[in-house]
Amino acid sequence: MRYFFTVFICKIFIFVLHLMKKQATSAPGKLAFRLYPDILKEFEKRTKKEIIAVMGTNGKTTTNNLLADCLEKCGFDVVCNRIGANMDEGSVVAYINKANLFGKIKCDYACLEMDEGWAEYILKYITPSKIVVTNLFRDQLDRYGEIDTTIGFLRKAISLAPNATLYINADDPLTVAMASVFDNKKVYYGIENKVQDVISTSKEGKYCLNCSKELKYEFNHFSQLGKYSCDCGFIRPEINFNAENISVFPTLKMNVTSYGDITFPVRGMYNAYNVLAVLSVCDNLNADKEKVKKALNEYTPQAGRMEHFNIGGKDLYLILAKNPTGFNQSVASVNDDPRTKDVVISINDGLGDGKDVTWLWDVDFENLIKDEIKSYHTSGRRYADMALRLKYMGVETDKISFAKDLKATLNSLSGSENECIYVLANYTALFEARAVITEVCNGHKN
């Protein structure tokens, strides 16, 4: 009774929020918890097949959404917290959105992205049968302190699901070490062989979690991902799900175990891992392979994940980059494109970004000094920190400008002689930049 009442009230609340054009991602969830703290247990009962949890620091949203797309393509009803609302309320709202006014839910699978800090709390109510862990990169340091803290959170959460199969990124020593304490069944996905020479110098996590010695690498794919081993006996586990023949520009193409050639429209090496994670789960679920490949082909990235705009006939790409690894990957994507370009970097220090921006000095921005990059524009609340970072990496100061008025900057860049524009932004800066870009694009159309 309490369940039906709660869903009914929350559905109406969401409806009202929509009428008021307000975001309905967390407030209805808070209300639901207040009305019925065990609401997630009820949702679990109403999930016909399985609950799949996606955790890790980077790539959660892409992985989770793509997994839901694939399952939907195969004809299943899927609950998914699509917009990256990954705290406890986000999962509740995802279910409520799928329910009708009378609490009836059509749900075969639930794909739930979980914030590392909230996963333990969510798993007190529901028990996923599969848990995907994408990777463990430094993320939002001032929220959780240190990567060791994040590892502690994930271990607590996973210990609540002893029967779940873990889908682990074999190339990430931190994720593998994190999961090594569990006896759960594990499926390892990864990239067996060397793909490209890597210039990244970030050494985050390149130390053995067991003995603190420096890991030995045969090769790196990026950041700490690669083929590693340690004197203490810690090695990359055998890969069950592998990708080879990988190319990353202009789209991602690769050959994957039991799937053959696949194409994914969003480029970037990091997406190879997101796709691998999804395919390893789909394979285990015996999902129709052709339908899954079709879902990959048709995937539309969320806002700011290599999002493409046309600005007065010129290509503009918007890329989210919220931590050193994400930024290094974004910089690599900029350099995958051989055209001449102007680059805008926007950095905020709001709550969603992490108030500490000192990590900017851990990004290998040195790789942004290229002949093809003709000018640099810094924006966001920390534009001056970013400009300073560029200056000390060796960019001539007359190539750097403060884009305090982003609209004016973009308008002027749309008329520059260079072939395309890249905008790199961290979390809240991305949404601000996106609004301005959309406005400028529309201005050009009229």
Which spans of this chain sit near other proteins (rule: CB under 8 A)? 141-142, 145-148, 203-204, 206-207, 209, 212, 214, 355-362, 381-382, 384-385, 387-389, 391-393, 397, 400, 402
Kindly state the smallest distance separating residue 393's Cβ from other proteins, in Å.
Answer: 7
Is 372 or 385 the residue whose CB approaches other proteins more closely?
385
Query: Tokens 């420096």 label which residue?
Result: 214
Burial of 166-198, coded b for 16+ CB within 10 Å and e otherwise, reads bbbbbbbbbbbbbbeebebebbbbbbbeebeeb
**CA nearest neighbour of 53 among 119, 140, 8:** 119
Kindly state the smallest distance separating residue 197's Cβ from other proteins, in Å.
Answer: 20
Kindly state the smallest distance separating residue 378's Cβ from other proteins, in Å.
Answer: 10
Kindly state the smallest distance separating residue 161's Cβ from other proteins, in Å.
Answer: 26
Number of other residues whose CB lies within 10 A of the CB of residue 256: 23
Is 49 or 381 the residue whose CB approaches other proteins more closely?
381
* Residue 359, CB-side half-sphere exposure with 13 Å CA sphere: 27
**CA nearest neighbour of 23 among 74, 90, 87, 119:** 90
**Structure tokens belonging to residue 47:** 């999930």
Contact 413, 406 (CB under 8 A): no
What SS3 string covers 383-409? HHHHHHHHHHHCCCHHHEEECCCHHHH
Is 32 or 363 the residue whose CB approaches other proteins more closely?
363
Q: What is the largest CA-CA distance in the chain?
A: 68
Is 142 or 419 the residue whose CB approaches other proteins more closely?
142
Kindly state the smallest distance separating residue 362's Cβ from other proteins, in Å.
Answer: 5
- For 228, phi and psi rounded to 5 degrees? -120, 160
Is 233 or 394 the residue whose CB approaches other proteins more closely?
394
Kindly state the smallest distance separating residue 356's Cβ from other proteins, in Å.
Answer: 5
Kindly state the smallest distance separating residue 287's Cβ from other proteins, in Å.
Answer: 39
Contact 137, 100 (CB under 8 A): no
Cα–Cα separations (whole angstroms), residue 273 to 60, 266, 280, 286: 11, 12, 10, 20
Is 211 or 435 the residue whose CB approaches other proteins more closely?
211
**CA nearest neighbour of 134 among 168, 181, 159, 166:** 168
Question: Which string of DSSP letters, residue by residue, matches 226-254?
Answer: EEEE-TTS-BPPPPSEEEEEEE-SSSEEE
What CA–CA distance (Å, rounded) separates 144 from 95? 28
Please tell me whether residue 225 adopts helix, strand or coil conformation: strand
Is 66 or 425 the residue whose CB approaches other proteins more closely?
425
Kindly state the smallest distance separating residue 321's Cβ from other proteins, in Å.
Answer: 15
Contact 321, 426 (CB under 8 A): yes
Kindly state the smallest distance separating residue 298's Cβ from other proteins, in Å.
Answer: 40
Is 341 or 389 the residue whose CB approaches other proteins more closely?
389
Query: Tokens 């789209």 label which residue?
Result: 251
Is 280 or 428 the residue whose CB approaches other proteins more closely?
428
Kindly state the smallest distance separating residue 208's Cβ from other proteins, in Å.
Answer: 10
Burial of 130-147, coded b for 16+ CB within 10 Å and e otherwise, reads bbbbbbbbbbbbebbeeb
Is 363 or 433 the residue whose CB approaches other proteins more closely?
363
Kindly state the smallest distance separating residue 206's Cβ from other proteins, in Å.
Answer: 8
Query: Tokens 């959660």 label which residue?
Result: 60
Is 163 or 212 the residue whose CB approaches other proteins more closely?
212
